[in-house]
Structure 1
Amino acid sequence: MSRPVLIAVVALVLSILPGVSHAASPGVVGTAANLVREVEPRADGVRHVDTKAMITALKALNVNTYVYPMAGDFHHWSDLRDEFLPAAAAAGIDVWVLVAAPSQAICCISRPYKHDYVTWARELATLSKSHPNLIGWTVDDYSYDLETFTPAYVTQMQAASKAINPSLKFIPVVYYRHFTDAFIAEQAPLLDGVIFPFWDDPHRDTSWTWSLSYQVKQLAKRLPDTDVYLMPYAYPLSHAAQKPTVAYVEAITKKALEHVRAGDLAGVVQYKLPYTSRSDGWTRPATDNLARTGNGRLSFVVQANTATSAGMWCGATPTVRLTPRATKYAVSFWHRDNRGSTSPAGYHVKQLLLNGRVVWQQDVAADQDAWQKATIDLTAKLTGATSATLQWRLYERKGVGNYFVDVGVDDIVTTGLQLGDPGVENAVTWSSGLTRQGGPVYCSAQVYHQNYGADLSARVANLYAAG
């Protein structure tokens, strides 16, 4: 037996022995949508998909998968077939095709087959036979359209596809709240996987990251035989108070890749990551920077049309050290909210706590929408102390049903206390100290990046390269 064959046999035997670990599949790492068109129209008068620019950028992003959207016109289909699939294959990139759901008809209808998903299944399977790197397809917002996608209809779709190419995967988009027992029993056995968009369900935001692991582990437990692909929002989520930041997407992606390595996820696919200078969302306007100075601030939010209860809160608790032999202790900071004196009082309250006790508070309705400075002398409370804990928080004195607020804190100055990143310019510095009680009140360190696409793509590319 030759040495290469012997090595292969030994590796195979070791891989199946109980208790012997083996390297896991690297999983899917990719991005979806954000098609880029050519700058100038061709002879047919159409600005076609700029395959060359996209492939160059996708390779730089270190993806192994791209989700190609059938975004509306007929040229997207011919561009996919004739140009994008061959170029992606040469670059070693697998392709999934994204088709719009019936509920998206106001904004999006995928052509040429529109809402005939049996035909989509058949034609994509046929195309995949001549382009083997077309390995899957998905329906966006699938779980909002289960009246269309009944088990009987999905069975027809899969039969049409599998008769031509049994390997082509159908991996629809399913939101966390829609993974009901009925869905798992009736739908999951018919699917080849699911794309799970993460938005801190049921709170719908792109700021809070700490519910990710819980939700991923729940799905892994409830869907043990289904591949789950996480979709972080790299693009603004409708009805969310804040746009995703570089630090947010990086944190979600990093944690998701840890779950891929642990076997809880089959991969990560960004939603509309801006990966070229012509991508939608590549840069952010200066008006997105809501810091008092610099680029960062603490943010405390209750979104519109969101119910809270008295006693809910979210707080930012940084690491604080006492200065040896200090004779005075004080803290000053600037705060601002988007309410004013005409807003109802007695609901949202801004607070600063020292060692768990409130030392300063102010109703969001007490000021106009402008930065205000607060200074609190802590000398009497800290003389002789060996430690101190500061916490800025938004507290619900009474519950609300629809009372949007966004409170900012910035430019912290301390006396007798040592605090890292007082200007809130590094989100990671603050992340470990964020805590919420109740759910719909959330907080984050919001750091503005004008060059959002370039900065984020570089970080995602590094994470993807590291596997």
Structure 2
Amino acid sequence: MSRSVLVMVVALMLSMLPGVARAQAPGALGTSGNLIRETEPRADGIRHVDTELMIQGLKALKANTYVFPMAGDNVQWEDLREEFLPAAAAAGIDVWVLVYSPSQAGCCVSRPYKHDYVAWAREIATLSKAHPNLVGWTVDDYAYDLRTFTPAYVKQMRAAARAINPSLQFVPTVYYKQFTDAFIAEQIPLLDGVIFPFRDSPYRDTSWTWNLSYQVKKLAERLPGTDVYLMPYAHPLSHAAQKPTVSYVEAVTKKGVELVRTGELAGILQYKLPFVSRDAGWARPAGDNLARTGNGRLSFVVQTKTATKAGMWCSASRQVQLTPGAGTYSVSFWHGDDRGPGDPAGYHVKQLLLNGKVVWQQDVAANGQAWQKATVDLTAGLAGAKSAKLEWRLYERKGVTSYFTDVGVDDIVATGLRLSDPGVENATTWTAGLARQGGPVYCSAQVYHQNYGADLGARIAAIYGAGQSAG
């Protein structure tokens, strides 16, 4: 029996014991971070963790697991012990503790034990004996600090925890590219599992989802018997061109639940999903909406400090039906980008293809940054046809090393052709037709949700609820 299956069976058995609240199968379904403080200080002058509000939000999300971050003052550790853990247990929610690594000292230091990870292991294990719903802990950005987390030091951490509670799980956060042969040989035998943040490695975006199944499968092959927890980015990823959309997080989570059911994943832990209305990320500012009209657009991106090669591309295609008897056929659309005549030409090219043949193109540096309308007569190319493939594409005429661009396409009007969702208001309609050649050039249907937290939370709650029922 694999460790993932064993953990699920034990969790189910424990949930049946009187007075013991446990997470439900099929695995950990929850979120990490976004700790909310009370609006007013208490008598001690401190704004404590708003445990009641957070538990309400987690229950609405149908989460069975929460990763409690230790960043800030000592009160977070006290609130975890005295208030949050008992409330989470009553709600049937498992808790992990997140401790920050030394490389994150510029933004986040975990208190009270700071960078003494043996002390963290000992004290979290001690706390877990009094609160059985404290089931694990993680170190964020773990593999960036292997000079600290040497095998010898991790053995000390492991020994300190297991002397108190052998069942406490240590599951650090490790990025896909960090699973080198050396890391797997030296570190994996010392860990109880890993959190795997998905970000389209070796690239860096929260738009493209196709690599997920492949990367999870490869991790399952390379880490047999190791629990892998997927971490989708529900919060903006640093150095990425775009914020994650509702559709993106939903798609990654849906696929993740499928992989939990097949045993390739042990659970899903969102990265900073805003789950209460007081969260700063609950609503998206109007400036995030880059559509020409409405809320959606097609987006084609090459990020800064990203190398491409000539011939790379990303495209969004749709099969369209010709209207019988129309006689003439054309398509018009609005396109825009962030470049102009002052930028180098001959590198990024916007294109429209009809049945695989380029019928219109323009360099990103040809005009200013305002939206422009293009109209293309397709009549000659559709003689005798009943259907056709339209394809908008960003093409690399020459390779670049660092030449950012974000090309938008919106407000399509097809004459003599039937095309659903021409305003790109439904990301799902367009996602199946996305394709890329090479990798660093990527594209997506970007649909803005002002009520990001509420809209995303409702979709994740539905997925989590169905996932737990399936277990």
Q: Specify the TM-score bucket, using the shorter chain as the normaliser.
A: over 0.9
Question: Match of 1:325?
Answer: 325
| Structure-2 separation of matches of 1:171 and 1:293 | 45
Cα pair 1:319 1:420 within 8 Å, conserved: no
Question: What's the offset of the Cα at 1:137?
Answer: 0.2
Q: Distance in 2 between the 1:243 and 1:367 partners?
A: 26
CA contact (8 A) 2:204 2:240 kept: yes
Whether the 8 Å CA contact 1:334–1:373 is kept in 2: the answer is: yes
1:218-257 aligned within 5 A: 218-257=218-257
Q: What are the Cα deviations for residues 38-59 of structure 1, in whole angstroms up to 9, with x where unaligned?
A: 0100111111000000001101
Compute the displacement of 1:383 (Å).
1.8
Asked whether the equivalents of residues 57 and 276 of structure 1 are also in contact (C-alpha less than 8 Å), the reply is yes
CA distance in 1, matches of 2:273, 2:279: 8
Q: Is the 8 A contact 1:349 1:394 kept in 2?
A: yes
User: What do residues 350-408 of structure 1 show as CA deviations (whole Å, max 9, x unaligned)?
Assistant: 00000100000000000101000000001111121232111000000000000000000
TM-score (norm 1): 0.94
Deviation per CA, 1:186-221: give whole Å up to 9, x if none. 111100000000000111100001110000100011
Contact 1:81/1:127 (<8 A) preserved: yes
Letter in 1 for 2:466: A
| Distance in 2 (alpha carbons) for counterparts of 1:54 and 1:140 | 21
Specify the SS of the correspondent of 2:365: helix
Q: Supply the distance in 2 between the matched residues of 1:248 and 1:359 (Cα, whole angstroms).
A: 31
Instruction: Work out the CA distance in 1 between the residues paired with 2:360 and 2:388.
Output: 15
- Please give the residue correspondences for 1:363-382 in structure 2 after superposition, counting only pairs within 5 Å: 363-382=363-382
8 A Cα contact 1:173 1:197, kept in partner: yes
How much does 1:25 deviate?
A: 4.2
State yes or no: 1:266 paired with 2:239. no
The aligned residue for residue 34 of structure 1 is 34
Tell me if structure 1 keeps the 8 A contact 2:319–2:387: no
Deviations 1:69-128 (A, max 9, x none): 001210000000000000000000000000000000000000000000000000000000
| Residue equivalent to 1:18 | none
Distance 1:279 1:136 in 2: 25
**2: CA distance, partners of 1:321 / 1:142:** 52
SS across alignment from 2:457: helix
String of CA shifts for 1:143-194, please: whole Å, max 9, x gaps.
1111110111101000000000000000000000000111111111100000
Secondary structure at 2:273's aligned position in 1? coil
What code does the residue aligned with 2:345 have?
Answer: A
Q: Does 1:46 align with 2:46?
A: yes
Q: Are positions 1:357 and 2:357 aligned together? A: yes
Pair 1:85 & 2:113 matched: no
**Mapping of residues 166-245 of structure 1, within 5 Å:** 166-245=166-245
Q: Does 1:459 align with 2:459?
A: yes
Aligned to 2:17: none
The letter for the 2-side match of 1:137 is W
CA distance in 2, matches of 1:107, 1:414: 50
Following TM superposition, by how much is the alpha carbon of 1:280 offset from its aligned partner in structure 2, in angstroms?
2.5
**CA–CA distance in structure 2, aligned partners of residues 202 and 339 of structure 1:** 26
Take 1:72 and 1:142, find their aligned partners in 2: how far apart are those partners? 19
Gaps of 5+ in 1: 1-11, 13-23
CA distance in 2, matches of 1:203, 1:416: 39
Deviation readout 1:270-298 (Å, 9 max, x if unpaired): 00000000113000000000000000000
Q: Which amino acid aligns with 1:123?
A: E
Letter in 2 for 1:248: Y
Paired residue type of 2:440: P
Letter in 2 for 1:282: W
CA distance in 1, matches of 2:380, 2:129: 77
- Which residue identity is paired with 2:388? A
1:224: Cα distance to partner? 1.1
| Structural mapping, 1:302-313, within 5 Å | 302-313=302-313
Letter in 1 for 2:411: D
Tell whether the 8 Å contact from 1:245 to 1:448 is kept in structure 2 after alignment.
yes
- Alpha-carbon distance in 2 for matches of 1:169, 1:69: 16
Give the equivalent residue in structure 1 for 2:62.
Answer: 62
Tell me the amino acid that sits aligned with residue 281 of structure 1. G
Corresponding residue of 2:158: 158
- For the residues of structure 2 that align with 1:182 and 1:349, how far apart are their CA atoms? 42
- Paired residue type of 2:196: F
Letter in 1 for 2:260: V
Letter in 2 for 1:348: H
1:416-427 residue pairs with structure 2 within 5 A?
Answer: 416-427=416-427
Cα deviation per residue 1:206-258 (whole Å; 9 max; x = unaligned)?
00011100001000111111000000000000000000000000000000100
Question: Partners in 1 of 2:25 and 2:268 — Cα distance?
Answer: 13
Counterpart position of 1:20: none
SS in 1 for 2:388: coil
Unaligned runs of 5+ in 2: 1-12, 14-23
Corresponding letter in the other structure for 1:36? I
**1:282 equivalent in structure 2:** 282
Moved over 2 A (4+): none
**Aligned residue pair count:** 445
In the other structure, the counterpart of 1:73 is 73
Matched, 1:116 2:116: yes
Aligned partner of residue 380 in structure 2, secondary structure = helix
Task: Give the aligned residue type for 1:150.
Answer: T
The question of 1:102 aligning with 2:102 is answered yes
State the TM-score, normalized to the length of structure 2: 0.94
Q: Provide the C-alpha distance between the structure 2 equivalents of 1:326 and 1:212, rounded to a whole number of angstroms.
A: 43
Q: Which moved more, 1:321-330 or 1:133-142?
A: 321-330
Residue type at the aligned position of 1:146: L
Matched with 2:314 is 314
Contact 1:314 1:437 in 2 (8 A): yes
The reply to whether residue 436 of structure 1 matches residue 436 of structure 2 is yes
RMSD of aligned alpha carbons? 1.0
Distance across 2 between alignment mates of 1:85 and 1:394? 50
